[in-house]
Amino acid sequence: MSTVQAVADRFEIGALCAEVTDAVMMRDFDRVASLFTPDGAMRWPHIGKEFLSREEIRAGIEWGQGLWEFFVQNIHPGVIRLDGDTATGRVHVQEFGRMHDGSSHLNYALYHDSYRRTLDGWRFSERVYEVRYLDSTPLTGSPPREQGHRPV
């Protein structure tokens, strides 16, 4: 693989990670699912959940987001290891929010990712979420009452 191709692949995988975070934050569940291979998997071992197809991933993300009053996720790039048309990597995650049941969460976590090159570009073939730190101290802030966003 050429150095130029490796740089392009790393850039595209980084963009994929940013795209899925944006899709979750914008509650665009169809877009989230489209970023996985048809046989893709999303696993959350800390809550005993796994979703094993685009359809299950879409439904699982919608279910999970439905639990939150508000939710913010920030990601930081981690390592990417290329191997032809597949790759593995990690994404460092910081999340916080409040659930509809009133509980608050501040997490520091990792996504352990597997990627596959497809005709539509790089896609997730698997994401496994690993919580490294959880703080359930009640959040003192709140979201603005009128939340709007500008379309991208």
pLDDT tens, position by position, 72-123: 999 999 999 999 999 999 999 999 999 999 999 999 999 999 999 999 999 9
Least Cα distance to 149 among 72, 49, 83 occurs for 72
Backbone torsions φ then ψ of 145, nearest 5 degrees: -65, -40
Q: Which domains, from first to last, does the chain contain?
A: 3-135 (3.10.450.50)
* Apex 82 CA angle, 129 and 51, nearest 5: 30
Q: Is the pLDDT of residue 54 over 80?
A: yes
Mean pLDDT of 124-141: 96
The answer to which of 106-115, 123-132, 142-151 has the lowest mean pLDDT is 142-151
Total-model pTM: 0.91
Q: How far apart are CA 88 and CA 79, in angstroms?
A: 8
Strands, sheet with 36-44, edge to edge from the N-terminal-most edge strand: 49-51, 36-44, 121-135, 104-118, 86-99, 68-83
